[in-house]
Amino acid sequence: MDTSSVKDYLIGLQNQITTAIAQIDGGNFLSDAWEKPPGEALQGHGITQILEGGEVFERAGCGFSHVRGPQLPPSATHARPELAGAPFEAMGVSLVFHPRNPYIPTVHMNVRMLSAQTAQGQNVAWFGGGMDLTPYYGFEDDAVHFHRTCRDALSPFGSQLYPKFKAWCDDYFCLRHRNEQRGVGGIFFDDFAQFDDSQNLAMLQSVGNALLPAYLPIVKKRMHTAYGERERAHQLYRRGRYVEFNLVWDRGTHFGLQSGGRTESILLSMPPLVSWSYQLQAAPGSPEHDLMQRFIVRRDWL
C-alpha cells in the first residue's frame, strides 16, 4: 500500500470540499495545521479546517489527520489477531457541517485508512467511513437523493455494498438511550478489506467523492427557505441529540477524548449552539412531529 498517495488523495479531498462549502457560504475556513508534541505515544499531525459564524454554515469543521502509534489498540485487532501489538498508521478526513437554516440538514462524512505490518513484514491495510444526514425538517426528496448518491458511489463495487452499509449506518447512528435514530442515515462501514488494496481504496475514494454531490444540491435547495423562532428553537433542541450521540455513543469521539486525542479537532463535530429542555414533545400533526415519525426512523429510502 502506497500510503503517500492515500494521503495526497485525502488532503485533496479536504480542500475540494472546504473550497466548495466556502464558495456557497461566502465565508472562509480557518486552516490550522497541528502536530502532536514529541514524546507522546501517538505521533502525528493534521490540518483542521473550520468555518464558524458563516452566512449558510454556522459551524462547519473538516479535519485531516495522520497518526502513527507504537501498538494497535486491542479494539482494532479483534478481527486481525496476527496484528496484535503491531505498530500502525491511521489517516483520514472527517467532517460535520452544521448549517444555520433549520431547513438544511446537518451532514457528517468520514473516510479513513488504517495500516500495519505483520511480524513477517507484510503490509495490511483496511478502511472505514461513511456519511449520514441529519435533517431538522423532513423532505423525502432530500433523503432519497442522499441515499441514491450513496448507492451510486458504491454500486461499481458490487450491489451488495449499499444495503449492507445502509443497515450498518442505521445500527451505528442510533441513540440507544432514547431508542432514536440520529437522522435519516446513509452508509457506514468499518474494517473493510474485502478487495485488494487498490480496489478497497477506490471504493473509499468513491465514497469521499460522493459527499459534495450528495449534500450540495440539498443545501442549495433549502438555503433560501424562510424560517422563524419556532424552527430555530426546534433545530437547537434537535442538535442536543447530536451532542448526546457523539459524546456518549460515537466510538471515535469517546475513545479519542479518553485516550489523549486532540480535543478541539475531535469536537469539530459539536454544534455551535444547542439547547436542552425537559420532555419536549412536538404536537401531533406538526412538521416537527412528522420529522420524528417519518424521517428519524429506519426506512428504505431508495
Q: Is 147 a catalytic residue?
A: no
**Of the two residues 184 and 236, which places its CB atom closer to its own copies in the complex?**
236
8 Å CB contact between 93 and 81 = no
State how far the Cα of 161 lies from the Cα of 187, in Å rounded to an integer: 9
Residue with cell 450540495: 216
**Of the two residues 40 and 141, which places its CB atom closer to its own copies in the complex?**
40
Q: Which three cell numbers stand for residue 302?
A: 431508495
Element (H, E) at 185: strand 185-192
Query: Which of left, alpha, beta for 84 (phi over 0: left; psi -120 to 50: alpha)?
Result: beta
| List of residues 6+ apart from 11 with CB closer than 8 A | 47, 64
Q: Is 240 in the site for its own copies (CB under 8 A)?
A: yes
Stretch that binds its own copies, among 8-16, 152-160, 191-199, 250-258 (CB under 8 A): 250-258
User: What is the spatial order of strands in the sheet that 123-134 belongs to?
Assistant: 30-35, 43-52, 57-69, 88-99, 106-117, 123-134, 185-192
Rounded least distance, CB 244 to its own copies, Å: 7
Interface residue with its own copies, options 37, 278, 283, 285 (CB under 8 A): 278
Q: Which three cell numbers stand for residue 42?
A: 501517538
**Of the two residues 120 and 281, which places its CB atom closer to its own copies in the complex?**
281
Q: What are phi and psi of 64, to 5 degrees?
A: -110, 140
Interface residue with its own copies, options 79, 119, 273, 302 (CB under 8 A): 273
**Of the two residues 115 and 265, which places its CB atom closer to its own copies in the complex?**
265
Residue window 40-69: x/- pattern of binding to its own copies, with contact defined by CB under 8 A? --------x-x-x------x-x--------
Interface residue with its own copies, options 236, 288, 296, 301 (CB under 8 A): 236
State how far the Cα of 25 lies from the Cα of 135, in Å rounded to an integer: 19
Rounded least distance, CB 249 to its own copies, Å: 8
Rounded least distance, CB 53 to its own copies, Å: 9
**Of the two residues 47 and 268, which places its CB atom closer to its own copies in the complex?**
268
End-to-end CA distance of the chain: 35
Q: Is 244 in the site for its own copies (CB under 8 A)?
A: yes
CA dihedral 207, 112, 6, 158 (to 10 degrees): -40
Rounded least distance, CB 164 to its own copies, Å: 26
Interface residue with its own copies, options 78, 177, 230, 289 (CB under 8 A): 177
Q: Which residues bind its own copies (CB under 8 A)?
A: 30, 32, 48, 50, 52, 59, 61, 176-178, 236, 240, 243-244, 247-248, 254, 257-258, 260-261, 263-264, 266-268, 270-279
Question: Which residues are identified as catalytic?
Answer: 108
